[in-house]
Amino acid sequence: MRHQQEKNPDVPTALPKREEIDSAYIWRLEDIYPSIDEWEKDFDGLEKLLPRFQAYQGCLLESAATLLDGIRLMENAEIIMGKLYAYAVMKSHEDTSKEFYQALADRVGYLLTKLTAAISFYTPEILSGGKGVIDGFLGQSEDLKQYAFFFENILRMAPHTLTPSEEELLARSGEVARGPENIFSLFTNADMVFPEVFDEDGNTIELSEERYTRLIRSQDRQVRREAYEGLFGTYSKYRNSLAAMYSSSVKGDLFYAMSRKYGSCLEAALDSDHIPLSVYDSVVDTVRFNLKPLHEYVALRKEILNVPELCMYDLYVPLANEIKKNITYEEALAMVVKGLEPLGEEYISVLKHGFEAGWIDVYENQGKRKGAYSWGSYGTHPYVLLNYNGTIQDVFTIAHEMGHAIHTWYSHGHQPFIYADYTIFLAEVASTTNEALLLDHLLESSLDRQSRLYLLNYSLEQIRTTVYRQAMFADFERQVHNMAEAGEPLTAERLSALWHGLNVTYYGPEISVDAHIDIEWARIPHFYTAFYVYKYVTGYAAATSLSQRIVGDGIAARKSYLDFLKQGGAAYSIDILKNAGVDMATPQPLQDTLNLFKEKLGELKDLL
């Protein structure tokens, strides 16, 4: 049993306050709005602009010129809304306990609902004209031709588009629909309090989601266990409330799917990206068919750790010492730059610019939103939120999030607003390509056995957590929504039992699946964006193919990849990837990735 040691005064026991963070490591949201007054000015301007949409309702298809003017008005409003929304929400994420910015985010959320309602007649009116009318207008106006794909995408949705009044009603329900996610975010980020635990040096520290990520990788098994039980024990205390939040979100998915006459929630979610159901089914089925290598890896992990019973809190500890601990942020940036050199000078110059130009919010502070993401709006540079802790995993997170950011930078820079945003299906490709290239670089430059052991283990962990684990998440989501569609209750007990069974199936007989892990579903924020997580799997598979082409084919593959980044949403996602050389309509890219897992597992065994 560990005895409490005297606290080291040099070790912080509580998270720093926001104002204690050096401004050099804080993103520059003033690049969007220099002051709250400027934000308020745009907010008021957009509110006053909304009534102008009424002039187009019922007569949007009066002429090609009217349609063009109406779309341009919509674009202008959405560009302003993008800036307002991004600024307010990112400010609220700096410290979720500050009511002023929470109120700002609430206000812009309500304004977004009003804007969505104001333009809700566009789609049904365009559909009322049909392909013939739209094609006629395109022939009359050169300026309208750039919207040809926009119209095509709308016209294909005809079976699932309602009357103008019904569309307005659904649009007005948007703020209510966002309620479960907003409640979950505030509850888990601002209100949930985790216990104090011991770190590796015996210091008592306040547990947080970000610190858990570090502690669960500790070589000290008792540190791992205490962090694991502290985190999941806290979530378990609120399991019924968390189940109610998630159940409400799923019921919202069901409401919208039924309202739009889809056969299922899954079909509704995939149709927005024009992805066939077979792609989702193939992800789950292909991974389930290839569970044997994962079971072998789990058995090897048990052997290497030399434990009589492998526990869930043993899954993340590296099987070899980290390459370097306590990596400074500046060192991490240099590592990322070196690893991404195969992408060429142009890409690297954008990367360095992002590092230097206030794109990134680096360190954790009290109340800051957990995790990491990239965000922004049209007409401004991208932003990246980190919670940097100095681990090699954090270095990969920088590469990952900058992949998103530079994808946005290229997309926004080369596409008009209407096509500037890429789909979520494509979102994880660029980020994961960066991780794959960084990993390749580190493996090639690591000659000593210990470093190669660590990196091979890291490679296996990437595929385990991004492919196997996210496929399990996708499996869970599909089953949960099937339960809801069948009218079955989504109680904490039922959700936890399903989660427990999936962990047993995916990880195999060599691990002890204890009761603490049963509540893990309750801490996954992506579940509030239904059927998002499978895209991590498809994105990883596509990125594996693209990174191998970039390294192997050089200049031609690099050009093809940069062209992919510039496409935004100017075509269907499946087609954009196919043009880049990856056909996700087949299971082959995913199967290649799972074969890579087996290959790396063999290399790891050979080194032992």
Q: Which residues are catalytic?
A: 401
Task: Kindly write down the DSSP assignment for every residue of 326-340, as one continuous string.
Answer: S--HHHHHHHHHHHT
Distance CA 397, CA 435 (A): 8
Nearest to 202 by CA among 416, 381, 363, 5: 5
Nearest to 526 by CA among 539, 516, 515, 513: 539
Whether the Cβ atoms of residue 144 and residue 68 lie closer than 8 Å to each other: yes
In the three-class reduction of DSSP (H, G, I as helix; E, B as strand; rest coil), residue 19 is classed as helix
Radius of gyration of the chain (CA): 25
Nearest to 506 by CA among 291, 316, 311: 291
CB-based burial label for 70 (10 Å; 0-12, 13-18, 19+): buried
Sign of CA dihedral 45, 168, 170, 146: negative
What string of H, E and C letters represents the secondary structure of 61-76? CCCHHHHHHHHHHHHH
* Residue in the structure block whose two tokens are 């998002």: 532
Task: Kindly write down the DSSP assignment for every residue of 276-293, as one continuous string.
Answer: -HHHHHHHHHHHHHTHHH
Distance CA 197, CA 209 (A): 13
Distance CA 318, CA 174 (A): 43
Nearest to 458 by CA among 433, 438, 473, 434: 438
Angle between helices 469-485 and 239-259 (to 10 degrees): 70
The CA distances from residue 14 to 94, 203, 206, 333, 365, in Å, are 17, 11, 6, 26, 9
In terms of DSSP bridges, do strands 360-361 and 383-385 run parallel, antiparallel, or are they unpaired? parallel
Q: Which residues of 382-414 are buried (b: 16+ CB within 10 A; e: fewer)?
A: bbbbbbbbbbbbbbbbbbbbbbbbbbbbbbbeb
101 HSE (CA, 13 A, CB side): 20
> What distance separates the 2 farthest-apart alpha carbons in the chain?
81
Q: Tokens standing for 106?
A: 């609430």
Distance CA 375, CA 370 (A): 15
Q: Tokens standing for 257?
A: 């799917």
Residue 425: how many CB atoms within 10 A of its CB? Answer: 25
